[in-house]
């Protein structure tokens, strides 16, 4: 079938754009957006993904504030209406890469918003993501990341939060392709040979998008269990990449190396603080200090995992005819904690991986900026530099 996008001369195959070249049910395309203020200790996270091979579009909007995390989820079949909207939620591209409007209309959750997301620097196309298992690609994906600013409002139960300068910043990414397999739409492990991924596995991911007045930036650091930055067979396998920008393009600093010194909360894998040294292509060293403005938000409620929906499904599964909308609220004021998914699965000692951080960035020439950012810290399995087993 034709979609509105077929009006434009952007086709990559001989088929309409609603038909993708890969038949995997793991092929999807979609957005993530963050709007946050370290001063107000408030993080609004939202996203939308289209799964063309299951004819579904789903998304979420969540707010973490005062130790509570409320998330509303929505889903419908996609080809009935090939638009970036699901029930009360809509994403509108006003100007590509420059201005995106995010709207959540009144719904039963009591959470609504109207936000204008503005890019503060050009989007950064990350290195292609590829991971394999027994020769078969399990991730084959492109992604770009972009820092920004946000203006508008968020309302929760009638409490209107004003969003805008100078303390509110934004993060976003857009990815498409085959993403890693997630239950319940994944092969039953018992029917396949044991997993045998090729290459080196990742143990640490330190990914940051931040804004600080006219300075903004993106960088990602990935290391194996021994703390080595080497090519890895992982969803996020690029050892290092990033860029810093003053203004939209007034000053551009391509980053060629980075290392981070991480301090954890005693007895946990929670981030206490970080010091990151970034080297630009001219050899200059930038120092960024990051400190969480509170405990991280958790991804268990946004719909990516089996059991995150009340029927036991996920964003990739069918939830019935028409528009499906549901919501829940959890207490994240103490971490680690045990969280029970809607299918009964208990996630023991759960901690969030998505941090709202305060940033202090010092340039090689001594200039300094104070701001805020989103830092993803993944510590999976053993990691020798921090003594994790």
pLDDT in tens, the chain (389 residues): 788 899 999 999 999 988 999 989 999 999 999 999 999 999 999 999 999 999 999 999 999 999 999 999 999 999 999 999 999 999 999 999 999 999 999 999 999 999 999 999 999 999 999 999 999 899 999 999 999 999 999 999 999 999 999 999 999 999 999 988 888 888 888 999 998 878 999 999 999 999 999 999 999 999 999 999 999 999 898 999 999 999 999 999 999 999 999 999 999 999 999 999 999 999 999 999 999 999 999 999 999 999 999 999 999 999 999 999 999 999 999 999 999 999 999 999 999 999 999 999 999 999 999 999 999 999 999 999 999 99
pLDDT at 345: 96
Structural contact between residues 115 and 102, judged by C-beta atoms closer than 8 angstroms:
yes
What is the four-CA torsion angle of 35, 374, 355, 84, rounded to 10 degrees? 50
Cα 217 to Cα 200: distance, rounded to the nearest angstrom: 28
Q: Print burial letters for 18-47: b (CB count within 10 Å at least 16), e (below 16).
A: bebeeebbbbbbbbbbbbbbbebbbbbbbb
> Which neighbouring-strand residues pair with 131?
139
pLDDT at 8: 92
What DSSP state is assigned to residue 126?
Answer: P
Structural contact between residues 337 and 350, judged by C-beta atoms closer than 8 angstroms:
yes
Cα 234 to Cα 222: distance, rounded to the nearest angstrom: 10
Cα 86 to Cα 351: distance, rounded to the nearest angstrom: 29
Q: For residue 358, give the 3-state DSSP assignment.
A: strand
Q: Which tokens hold the place of 70?
A: 């409320």
How far, CA to CA in Å, does 234 sit from each of 129, 172, 309? 8, 21, 27
Q: For residue 186, give the 3-state DSSP assignment.
A: coil
Peptide bond into 340 cis (omega under 30): no
pLDDT at 271: 98
How far, CA to CA in Å, does 46 sit from each of 9, 36, 72, 111? 30, 12, 9, 12
């Amino acid at each position: 079938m034709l979609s509105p996008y077929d009006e434009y001369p952007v086709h990559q195959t001989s088929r309409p754009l609603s038909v993708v070249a890969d038949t995997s049910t793991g092929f999807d395309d979609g957005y993530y957006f963050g709007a946050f203020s370290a001063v107000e200790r408030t993080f609004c996270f939202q996203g939308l993904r289209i799964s063309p091979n299951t004819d579904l579009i789903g998304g979420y909007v969540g707010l973490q504030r005062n130790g509570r995390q409320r998330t509303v989820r929505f889903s419908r079949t996609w080809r009935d209406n090939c638009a970036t909207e699901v029930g009360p939620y809509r994403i509108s591209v006003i100007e590509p890469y420059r201005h995106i409007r995010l709207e959540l209309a009144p719904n039963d959750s009591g959470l609504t918003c109207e936000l204008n997301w503005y890019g503060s620097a050009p989007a950064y196309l990350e290195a292609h993501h590829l991971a394999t298992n027994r020769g078969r690609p399990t991730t084959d994906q492109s992604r770009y990341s972009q820092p920004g600013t946000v203006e508008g409002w968020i309302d929760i139960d009638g409490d209107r939060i004003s969003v805008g300068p100078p303390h509110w910043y934004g993060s976003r990414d857009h990815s498409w392709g085959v993403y890693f397999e997630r239950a319940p739409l994944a092969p039953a492990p018992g029917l396949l040979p044991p997993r045998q991924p090729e290459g080196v596995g990742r143990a640490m991911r330190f990914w940051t998008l931040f804004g600080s007045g006219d300075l903004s930036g993106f960088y990602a650091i990935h290391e194996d269990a021994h703390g080595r930055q080497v090519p890895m067979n992982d969803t996020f396998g690029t050892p290092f990449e990033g860029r810093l920008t003053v203004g939209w393009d007034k000053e551009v600093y391509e980053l060629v190396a980075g290392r981070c010194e991480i301090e954890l909360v005693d007895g946990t894998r929670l981030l206490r603080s970080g010091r990151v040294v970034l080297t630009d292509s001219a050899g200059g060293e930038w120092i960024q200090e990051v400190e969480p403005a509170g405990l991280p938000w958790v991804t268990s409620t946004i719909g990516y995992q089996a059991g995150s929906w009340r029927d036991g499904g996920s964003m990739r599964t069918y939830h019935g005819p028409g528009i499906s909308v549901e919501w829940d609220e959890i207490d994240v004021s103490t971490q680690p904690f045990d969280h029970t998914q809607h299918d009964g699965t208990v996630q023991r000692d759960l901690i969030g991986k998505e941090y709202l951080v305060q940033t202090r960035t010092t340039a090689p020439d001594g200039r300094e900026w104070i701001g805020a950012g989103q830092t993803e810290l993944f510590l999976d399995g053993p990691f020798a530099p921090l003594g994790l087993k």
